Amino acid sequence: MPLPYRRLVVKIGSNVLTQDNGLPDLPRMAHLVDQIVQLKAQGLEVIVVSSGAVAAGRSLITVPAQADAVRSRQLLAAVGQVKLLSTYAELLAKHGLLCAQVLVTKEDFRDRQHYLNMRNCFQELLQQQVIPIVNENDVISVTELMFTDNDELASLIAAQLDADALIILSNVDGIFTGDPRLPDSELIREIAPADTGFEQFITAQRSQFGRGGMLTKCHMAHKVAKLGISVHIANGKTTDILPGVLAGTALSTWFRPSKTASGKKKWLAHAHSAVKATVRVNAGARAALSTPGKAVSLLPVGILGIEGEFKKGDIVQIADEAGLSLGLGIAEYGLDKALERLGHQHQRPLVHYDYLFLNPDLA
Ligand SMILES: Nc1ncnc2c1ncn2[C@@H]1O[C@H](COP(=O)(O)OP(=O)(O)O)[C@@H](O)[C@H]1O
Ligand SMILES: N[C@@H](CCC(=O)OP(=O)(O)O)C(=O)O
């Protein structure tokens, strides 16, 4: 049967790879690797984003009682990542396949050139039939340098590599209409790009070893789907979940994708840390930019003011009069020219539509 996707990112959460006692679940890992190999044999390119370094570290070393939370995580992840990757390497070697370790931090997504370098490396690995296994570099990612969790990282990678689909494997079948442990809660099978309000169902409860929780998963999934990438949240503990999701026979919450965004827009969607200045627009410009289905560029006539400095090609944030962020764009010219043209009619757009990413929840 032909599979609907060509390039797939699979995110595997900590709890999927971890037993209740906190130690790695090797049979589960072996089964997931078998499924990945099966998909690869059917012609799919697979990129894995795997958590589990901290859990693997726990099986190897005891954290000293005086170590704080940051030190403990660094210690466990530094030791555990070696074990995590060597386990993947051994399991894949049985099928004659190689994997590659890709450890990243938020910084690696800041600069477009840096971003493209990373993308080129992924492309080479995929071309050589190597399976990239990505994780956050927990040793140097501390506090504000951290991704919210690996769901955010997996979303960035899916957008960066123009994946057709992202499958997020957790310990639940998807998003439920209430606490998944309660019998009245029902699985939401499909969420459309324009759907809102599903966040109300999500409780603060997390899996035992997870970091971000279901709310980040939802936000990320929705954002990625709006970039034109199909997203499924499914249960990584279910037998044959990956082929099941792809065949449409397994349970999951499917975030239906909107029409595909350009590579530049996908990059901009996650480029908040690279913003150089904020451009405030008036109500008319806000209304024009947020009209569904219309390709509108940001013209100087609708700009009220600018905070910060930028050059041609820098990323600017666009905000409304109240300071609410509307999206990000690439400046067509620098601050000096922008100030000269501010408020004037018949001027070149400061941000062209092709280089503009508007927040999906913009009303
Ligand atoms: N409405 C909901 N539907 C599904 N899961 C939910 C919901 N609200 C909270 N959760 C919790 O989210 C958890 C999964 O998120 P998380 O702990 O981040 O997992 P992971 O480690 O796989 O990233 C589930 O184990 C569940 O307890
Ligand atoms: N980088 C950490 C995982 C952090 C994380 O986001 O975990 P999870 O929420 O289970 O995907 C590790 O490898 O242990």
* Final residue in a domain of this structure, among 265, 280, 298: 265
As a whole number of angstroms, the distance between CA 298 and CA 206 comes to 41
**Other Cβ atoms within 10 Å of 174 Cβ, number:** 25
Residue 168 pairs in a beta bridge with: 11, 233
User: Do residue 308 and residue 350 come from a single domain?
Assistant: yes
* Final residue in a domain of this structure, among 218, 245, 265: 265
User: Do residue 251 and residue 308 come from a single domain?
Assistant: no
Is 325 assigned a ligand-binding role in the annotation? no
Provide the number of structural domains found in the chain: 2
Please tell me the number of the ligand nearest to residue 251's CA.
Answer: 1
Asked whether 212 and 149 are in contact (CB, 8 A), the reply is yes
Please tell me the number of the ligand nearest to residue 236's CA.
Answer: 1
CATH number at residue 164: 3.40.1160.10
**Other Cβ atoms within 10 Å of 197 Cβ, number:** 6
Binding site membership of 236 for ligand 1 (Cβ less than 6 Å) = no
User: Do residue 225 and residue 288 come from a single domain?
Assistant: no
In a domain, 2, yes or no: no
User: Do residue 316 and residue 185 come from a single domain?
Assistant: no
User: Do residue 69 and residue 153 come from a single domain?
Assistant: yes
User: Do residue 235 and residue 294 come from a single domain?
Assistant: no
In a domain, 125, yes or no: yes
As a whole number of angstroms, the distance between CA 21 and CA 208 comes to 10
Is 108 assigned a ligand-binding role in the annotation? no
Structural domain range at position 316: 272-358
> What residues contact 313, with CB distance under 8 A and at least 6 apart?
330, 331
User: Do residue 84 and residue 164 come from a single domain?
Assistant: yes
> In a structure prediction context, what are the per-residue pLDDT tens digits for the chain, which is 363 residues long?
445 688 999 999 999 999 888 888 999 999 999 999 999 999 899 999 999 999 999 999 999 999 899 999 999 999 999 999 999 999 999 999 999 999 999 888 887 777 888 999 999 999 999 999 999 999 988 877 788 889 999 999 999 998 999 999 999 999 999 888 899 999 999 998 888 787 787 876 665 665 667 888 898 999 999 888 999 999 999 999 999 999 889 999 999 998 766 667 777 887 888 899 999 999 999 999 887 667 789 999 999 999 999 998 899 999 999 999 999 999 999 999 999 999 999 899 999 888 898 887 665
User: Do residue 289 and residue 243 come from a single domain?
Assistant: no
User: Do residue 133 and residue 253 come from a single domain?
Assistant: yes
Binding site membership of 51 for ligand 2 (Cβ less than 6 Å) = yes
Binding site membership of 154 for ligand 2 (Cβ less than 6 Å) = no
In a domain, 1, yes or no: no
As a whole number of angstroms, the distance between CA 214 and CA 233 comes to 10
Is 21 assigned a ligand-binding role in the annotation? no
**Ligand 1 centroid vs 142 CA: distance in angstroms?**
23
In a domain, 51, yes or no: yes
**Ligand 2 centroid vs 150 CA: distance in angstroms?**
6
In a domain, 314, yes or no: yes
In a domain, 363, yes or no: no
Nearest atom (ligand 1) to Cα of 206: 17
User: Do residue 63 and residue 128 come from a single domain?
Assistant: yes
User: Do residue 232 and residue 313 come from a single domain?
Assistant: no
In a domain, 13, yes or no: yes
User: Do residue 169 and residue 254 come from a single domain?
Assistant: yes
CATH number at residue 335: 2.30.130.10
* Final residue in a domain of this structure, among 265, 285, 309: 265
